[in-house]
Amino acid sequence: MDQVIEFVTNHYILSGLFVALSVALVYTTVASQLSSLKELSTHEATLLMNKEDAMVLDIRPAAEFKKGHILGAKQIKAELVTKAEFSSLEKHKDKPIIVVCAMGMTAKRTASQLMKDGFEQVTVLKGGMNAWQGANLPVSK
């Protein structure tokens, strides 16, 4: 125990960084477990698409969408996402929606906005299109 105290007093910056990273790791783990927003793996997403006819909502820019997207995905313009304008999706309110972005990070914000607008079955593809293409799943151009 004395060695730990000596190390912390001699290397307080390194020890502080270790504590901060540990707290951040615990926070993100607990927050994701308690969040009402669910992240799906590529396997879970394909099951949801095939069994429950889930709609895939791609929020990437149009240029990236044209390079390759999930089969049957609907692309929404960035300005509509920033304004939280989802009136074009009203007819899909009762269907499961999988929100997809490039890496799975920005999709969380959009999915939260959709849930606030009354869409109940909203999920996010974990890892985004990078994970989809990494799993060698079909892409439409």
d(Cα 8, Cα 49) in Å, to the nearest integer? Answer: 52
Enumerate the active-site residues: 101
Q: Determine the Cα–Cα distance for residues 27 and 47; give it in Å rounded to an integer.
A: 30
Q: Name the nearest CA neighbour of 60 among 42, 81, 41.
A: 81
Lookup result for tokens 């799993």 = 135
